[in-house]
Each structure stands twice: as C-alpha cells, then as structure tokens.
Structure 1
Amino acid sequence: MSKSPMTRAEKSWVLYDVACSAFTMLISTTIPILFRSYAEADGVSPEYASALWGWATSAAVLVMGLFSCILGALADYRGMKKRLFGLFLVLSLGGVAVLSTVSGWQAFLVAFVVVRIGYSACNVFYDSMLVDVTTDQRMDMLSSQGYAWGYLGSCIPFVAGLALIFTTPFGLNTQQATQLSFLLTGVWWLALTIPLLRNVRQTHYLENRQGKLNHAFRRLAQTFRKVRQDKKMLLFILGYFCYIDGVYTIISMATVYGGELGLSSSSMVLALLLTQLVAFPFAILSGKLSQKIGDLPMIKSFILIYIGICLFGFQLDQEWEFWALAVAVGMCQGGIQAISRSHFGKMVPKEQSNEYFGLFDIFGKFADFFGPMIMSASAVLLGSSTYGILALAALFVLGYLLVTFSQRAEAGER
C-alpha cells in the first residue's frame, strides 16, 4: 500500500469488518455453547448436539451457496449493491434479536440459520465493495487491514458480553446475561455499519435495464464459461474451496469440538479471544509480506501451517493444547482470508465484481457446508468428531496442490 492515508471510503469499508466480526466471534464461542446447554438440558447427547450444530451450519451456508451468485449478479447493476446489502443487514439484525429472546434449542437453531444466511449475504456484497473503494495496488493491504481491525475491534463487544456472563449483574442469570450479550453485539454491528452506508459508493457497475433477472442469469452462464477457460482463476477457486473449507470449519466448530472433548467453556472462550488478539498483528503482517513475496506463496505458507494444526488437533485432549492451537490459528486465520480475497479481487472485471465474488462465495459457502458435514458425520458414525480433523488435513493438502497449479498457470501466462 502507498504511504498515503486511507480515504474516508476505505476507512468506512474497514470499519464494517469491525462491525460484523463481533458476530463472527459469537458464532465461534457463546452461540454454540448456549445452544449446547439448551440441547443437553432437553436430553440431547453431546455427540448428537455436535451433529445438530454442524447440520444447521451446513444448511445455512448451503442456502447462501445456492443463491449468492445470482444475488451478486443482480448487485452489479447501478445502485443495487447497497440496496441488497441493506436488505440482508436487516434480516441479520432481526435474527440476532430473536436469538436474544428464545430459549428452546429448536427455535434457537432456526434463528441461527436465518442470521447466518443474512450475515453471509452481507459479506458477499461487502467483499465486492473492495474494488469500489481502492485500487489494485492497495488491495492486499486494505483487505488485511479489514481483517486485522475486525479481529481487534470485535473483542470490545465480546469482552463486554463476557463481563455480563461472568458477573450476571442486575439480577440476571447466566442465560439472560448471554442473551443480552447477543443484543449488545447487534447494536454494535448496526452502529459501525452506518459509515459504510453513508460513505461507500458503487463506482463500478452495469447500467440498469429491463429484465435484470433474466439478463443476470444469462451473464452468469457467460461468467461460468469465462472462468472455465481461465485456467489460473479456475485452479485458484478450486484450491480456495479446499483450503477455506478447513479454515471455516475450524472457526465454526472449535468450541463444539472442544466441548465434546470435555474442555471447560470458559477456557475455550478465553482461548478464542486470544486468537483474535494474535490475529490482529499477523493479518497486517501478511498484507506487507504478500507485497514482497506474492499472494500465492503467502497462501501456500498458511496452508502448510494449517495442515500442522489439523494433525496436532487430532490428538488434542488437554486444555493447554487448545490454547496452543488458538495461537497458531490466530497467526494464519486473518492472513489467509485477506490475501485470498484481495488476490481474487485483482483477477476479476471490476464492473462485474459482485457477480464474480458471488461465484467466489459459492465455493466458500459450499466449503463451509462440506466441512461441518464431515465433522457431523464423524460424530454420528464414529462416535467422535476427531476423525473429521484428519479429513480437513487432506483437504488442505489438496488445496495446496491446486494453488500450486494456479501459480504455475499464472507464471506461464506471464
């Protein structure tokens, strides 16, 4: 990134990552813990609770995987990106309000699926706004800044929520304090989204026309053909599907997996808070390093570390080991997501960024669907999610190979 300060639009774009990352923290920590307490209080076994959570997560990402591409194509028309973003933001915040009030595990699970769908849709439009707010030369660093400040800033409402849960003030019990922490996160999400709504403009777009939906479907068919013919992009997207599967699964299933192994909820939550703090400097560092050694070598380095994380996690049975993994994940998590996003953003036509990011999101969402399903199947068929960790390691290996092939194709074009 050049030494010139960030523009108002760039700052507002980064701030939304701070806003929505607070909910990402809840997905990884207190939301699955509260769900498990509801389910087990109703007689659901710990293994089956893990399976239910994995299936719900998979259902949410599958729905978004099916619709994200067409939503992205529609958002490429003038003025549509922020309209669709606002619609799904309202859906997300409404779902958070429901999570803050229900107490049965069935209703809680349904509300979670709704919030995940809205949250994921917002991220499709948000990711594609990267091409509207900055240049290719600043993209790696800005994407890394988004993840970095998102990790750090999300700790503020999360720590406030933990204070509510551990102190249970105002005569609240633990359940009510946890629900209030969800509501606090929703307010944080809304407040920090306002700058993006005010300051970010859709600078790359297609002109509006009659029959946008039919035209969007025709454009999608053309885009699929273009991607299939672009060897480096196709190989990168396939590799992304494999390695991001493991990344997302580790994020969404960490506390469920730890709970199945009998680790204390408080230790797991604090360890994942440490992940956020570690991720902040390493996400920024990854953006700087990628400018020196290249995007794909950075991504491959992170994949190798994740393979080691999976192998270590396979034998995990002590709390200190969970803490060690939390630090290792923090070193890689933001960097691999940020560099993947910016690398793809450099490859796509800017006026069709939503459409391409919608396609990108399909692979990400189907990856997020596939990983939890592996963990759930392992829990049900083998009586433990542990063996699912080895399957994630295999996906990382495949992702590494495909990214290597994409790198070679890119070098061949040059």
Structure 2
Amino acid sequence: MTTGTANSTDRDGGTAAGRRREQRGWYFYDFACSVYSTSVVTVFLGPYLTAVAKAAADDEGYVHPLGVPVRAGSLFAYSVSASIVLAVVLMPLAGARADRTGRKKPLLAAAAYTGAAATAGMFFLDGHRYLLGAFLLIVANASLSVSMALYNAYLPQIAAPEERDAVSSRGWAFGYTSGALVLVLNLVLYSGHDSFGLSESMAVRICLASAGLWWGAFALVPLRTLRDRAAAPGGEGSVGSGWRHLLATLKDMRRHPLTLSFLLAYLVYNDGVQTVISQASVYGSEELGLGQTTLIVAVLLVQVLAVAGALGMGRLARTHGAKRTILGSLAVWVAILVAGYFLPAGAPVWFFCLAAAIGLVLGGSQALSRSLFSHLVPRGKEAEYFSAYEMSDRGLSWLGPLVFGLAYQLTGSYRDAIISLAAFFALGFVLLARVPVRRAVEAAGNPVPERI
C-alpha cells in the first residue's frame, strides 16, 4: 500500500486521502457506541437493575425469571453472560455474510440501530420490571458485539500495517472521549435531579435512554463515510451458508495455529477486562457502599485517563512493540484486582485511585490487542476473522460474568467475586508470552512491522 501522497492508490483501489477520510469516519463508531458501554453497562444499569430486582425479590432475596431462583444481586451478571451467548450465535452469521456479499455497512447499520433502540427503551425500566431490563440488556449487548465485529473488520482495509497501532488507539481514544463527555452531562443531571424536578429513578432512566439516542445519532457518521469492498467469491451468505462458512473459517484458522494461539490468550485476559468493566459499579455500590455520584466521578476519571492511556500505550508500542506493552498492562491488571480486594468500604479516595490505574491500562490494552490481531488476519477474510476476534472480545467473554455471578450467588460476597478475576489476567499473560508474533504475522502472509 502506498501512503506517500494524497493521490496514491491503496490496495483496495482508493486514494490515500480517501483512506484517511475513512479512518476519520471509522473513529466515530467508537465515539457513538462507547457511551453505551460507559454510561449504561459500567455506571448506571448494574446498580439500577439490581435495585429493581431487589424490589421484586422474595423474602429470601431471590427473583424467579422463568421459574429459576436467582439471587437478585446476581441478575445483572447473569444477563451479561446471556447476552454474550446470543452474540456467539449472531456474530459468525454476520461476519460470513459480510465477507460473502462485501456489504458490511447494511449489517453494521442493522446491528447499531437495534442496539440503540433497545438502549433507548431502557427509559421504561421502572418498578418491578427486572425482566424487561434483563431483556433489553441482552438485546443491546448482543447488538453491540455484532456491530463491533463488523466495525473492527474495517481496520485492515483502511489502515496500512504500520498505521494500525495508531489508528486503533485513536479509535479507542475517540470512544473514551465521548464516554467522558456524556458522563459529565449524566453527572450534572443525576446530581441535580431535584433542581430539574426529576426523581432519582427518572434521572437514571433518562441517562440510560440518552445513551441509545447518542449511539444512533453518531453512528450516521461512519455509515456515511465507510465504503464496502468487493465481495469474496462464491455463496449468497444465507443463514445456512453462514454457518457452513463459519465452519470453513474455523478449519482455515487451523492452518494459522499462531493466530489461534493469540486468540486463546486474548479470550482469557479479555474475559477479565470485560468483567471488570461490567461489574465495577455493582462492586462499588453493593460491596463498598459508594453512592451513584461517586461511581460516576470514578468512571469519568477512567474515561479521561483512558484517552491518555490509549495514546500513551500506542507510543510505548512503537518503542517496545505491542506484545510487550500488552504484557506489561496485564501485570498492572493483576495488581489492580489485588488492591480492589483489600479496598476499604466507604473510602471514595482509594476507589478513585483504583479507577485512575484502570483508566491508564484499559484503553491501551484493548486498542493494542485489536491492532496486533489485525496483523494476523489473512487478506480477504477480515470480517470472518474479526468475528472470531469479537467472539473473544465480547462473544466468548461469558465465563467471567458467570463466575462473578456464581461467586456472589454462593458466598454473598462481591470481594470473593472480584479477586477470582485475577486468574484470567495471570493465565492470559502466560499464554500471550508464548506467542511468537513475528512468525504469526509471516504465517498469515502479511508484512512484518519493524516493531510488533
């Protein structure tokens, strides 16, 4: 790919200037959907859905969805796990169809607006409607996973190998910037809900629904900017052929065992990352006794520092390579969880310190993992391979929330649940350290960057 002049032509037939325009549009999907991850999953929905479930619980603290006894405090974690199972079913179908038809944008639009609509529908979550909240969470989370698989598949097509660490890191930085901006607005609305004539419940429901409106509005930017590439030959991409295509993809990936080794390592440590993100607010409110305003400020701190962390770790990767930088971040994650286990209740200052540490490693570890994987994808199989990656990123990250929920179900202690996640990072570190990434890039038939 030639990148020297604005009129040069890239590998897909477009100009370098057009590629940069696509990159700028691509950043805005992170800008659009990250508000859901931040405001809904990380801050508001966990404590709020838990409170709704507790209000509907029996005298022993259990709700009974579909007749199954579930401790009210575990409902949110179980719902996250269920959403991921649904995503596992849908993502391979979307990835296979995208590669067969060459039309990722319509599929991206369908997933984005399904998720945005489900999120906006959370405005109606009140009273004892814990089943409605669980259902909307499952739909929105699964839709986000499908859309992110399609979105990530654009990265190898819009960025040259030497650009991908920087482009991926900027995408995460855009996402954390939007998350921080909306959290400031959420903080103003929530902390001043009385002055706005709103109840606390109404303020939370407005914050939840506004994330869906934001997601839908800013998704228009990448949908207008990104362009579809030529389809891979053969097939119509039907549901049946989608599953057959998935099986063919898995067989094809067996020819790239080093790529599979990276995916396994990523599956393990990212399961820990995703569980920390989704369960942190529940841990803070239920175990540490912190108020919603404190949680908002803490997550806002994560958002602000995650922008600097994503960009800073991108620079570290240029010097030390993406693999070494990710390994360093995993060691920090283990230290964070150990510190979180011993964190005293009712101590917001220490909680803020922990949030700051999370922010510094969160964005960078995710951004660099995405860009590193992009080097391991054979050309022409981007959407399918990124569906597998997204299944590791979101689709197969069901074990962490399930373990977290079971630990609370069995012990009634969120501290026992949080410390169990350290094993995901430690094992992920060992598995990633054993992956020879340079040989993996060569085996995929891609040029090897100077630093990786």
Range into which the TM-score falls when normalised by the shorter chain: over 0.9
Matched, 1:133 2:162: no
Matched, 1:243 2:256: no
How much has 1:398 moved relative to structure 2? 1.0
Q: Matched residues in 2 for 1:388 and 1:31: separation? A: 19
Tell me what 1:38 maps to.
52
Tell me what 2:284 maps to.
258
How much has 1:77 moved relative to structure 2? 2.6
Which string of whole-angstrom CA distances, capped at 9 and with x for unpartnered residues, describes residues 286-311 of structure 1? 11221221111111111111111111
Tell me what 1:20 maps to.
33
Tell me what 1:382 maps to.
411
How much has 1:170 moved relative to structure 2? 4.4
Amino acid at match of 1:35: L
Q: Matched residues in 2 for 1:380 and 1:283: separation? A: 35
2:71 corresponds, among 48, 60, 63, to 48
Contact 1:246 1:393 in 2 (8 A): yes
Q: Matched residues in 2 for 1:201 and 1:77: separation? A: 16
Which string of whole-angstrom CA distances, capped at 9 and with x for unpartnered residues, describes residues 180-213 of structure 1? 2223222222221111111101236314644644
Tell me what 1:364 maps to.
393
Contact 1:66 1:362 in 2 (8 A): no
Q: Secondary structure at the match of 1:7?
A: helix
2:433 corresponds, among 401, 404, 414, to 404
Matches within 5 A, 1:6-405: 7-26=20-39, 27-43=41-57, 45=61, 48-103=71-126, 104-168=129-193, 169-203=195-229, 205-207=231-233, 209-210=235-236, 212-261=238-287, 262-317=289-344, 318-405=347-434
Contact 2:112 2:219 in 1 (8 A): no
Q: Matched residues in 2 for 1:3 and 1:212: separation? A: 40
How much has 1:43 moved relative to structure 2? 4.2
Question: How many percent of aligned residue pairs carry the same amino acid?
Answer: 28
Q: Matched residues in 1 for 2:125 and 2:437: separation? A: 52
Moved more, 236-245 or 186-195: 186-195
Which string of whole-angstrom CA distances, capped at 9 and with x for unpartnered residues, describes residues 8-34 of structure 1? 211111111111111111210012122
Moved more, 217-226 or 280-289: 217-226
Contact 1:68 1:124 in 2 (8 A): yes
Amino acid at match of 1:12: G
How much has 1:90 moved relative to structure 2? 2.0
User: Would the alpha carbon gap of residues 132 and 205 (structure 1) be closer, same or farther in structure 2, given more than 3 Å must change?
Assistant: farther
User: Which of structures 1 and 2 has the larger relative contact order (alpha carbons within 8 angstroms, sep 6+)?
Assistant: 1
How much has 1:408 moved relative to structure 2? 7.0
User: Would the alpha carbon gap of residues 25 and 342 (structure 1) be closer, same or farther in structure 2, given more than 3 Å must change?
Assistant: same
Moved more, 111-120 or 2-11: 2-11
Count of aligned pairs: 413
How much has 1:3 moved relative to structure 2? 9.9
Contact 2:150 2:383 in 1 (8 A): yes
Q: CA RMSD in A?
A: 2.3
Q: Matched residues in 2 for 1:275 and 1:379: separation? A: 25
Q: Matched residues in 1 for 2:293 and 2:76: separation? A: 19
Moved more, 314-323 or 138-147: 314-323
Contact 2:102 2:229 in 1 (8 A): no
The runs of 5 or more residues in structure 2 that have no matched partner are 6-16, 63-69
How much has 1:106 moved relative to structure 2? 2.1
Q: Matched residues in 2 for 1:3 and 1:381: separation? A: 60
Amino acid at match of 1:235: S
Contact 2:100 2:236 in 1 (8 A): no
Q: Matched residues in 2 for 1:62 and 1:293: separation? A: 36
Amino acid at match of 2:20: T
Contact 1:296 1:407 in 2 (8 A): no
> When you count helix as a share of all residues, which structure comes out higher?
1
Q: Matched residues in 2 for 1:61 and 1:146: separation? A: 23
Q: Secondary structure at the match of 2:125?
A: coil
How much has 1:403 moved relative to structure 2? 0.5
User: Would the alpha carbon gap of residues 83 and 408 (structure 1) be closer, same or farther in structure 2, given more than 3 Å must change?
Assistant: closer
How much has 1:388 moved relative to structure 2? 2.5
Contact 2:120 2:213 in 1 (8 A): no
Normalised by the length of structure 1, the TM-score is 0.93
How much has 1:215 moved relative to structure 2? 4.0
How much has 1:133 moved relative to structure 2? 2.0
Contact 1:85 1:122 in 2 (8 A): yes
Contact 1:204 1:351 in 2 (8 A): no
Q: Matched residues in 1 for 2:437 and 2:158: separation? A: 30
Q: Secondary structure at the match of 1:206?
A: coil
How much has 1:348 moved relative to structure 2? 0.6
How much has 1:79 moved relative to structure 2? 4.1
Q: Secondary structure at the match of 2:381?
A: helix
Normalised by the length of structure 2, the TM-score is 0.86
How much has 1:370 moved relative to structure 2? 0.6
Moved more, 105-114 or 34-43: 34-43
Amino acid at match of 1:22: V
Amino acid at match of 1:59: A
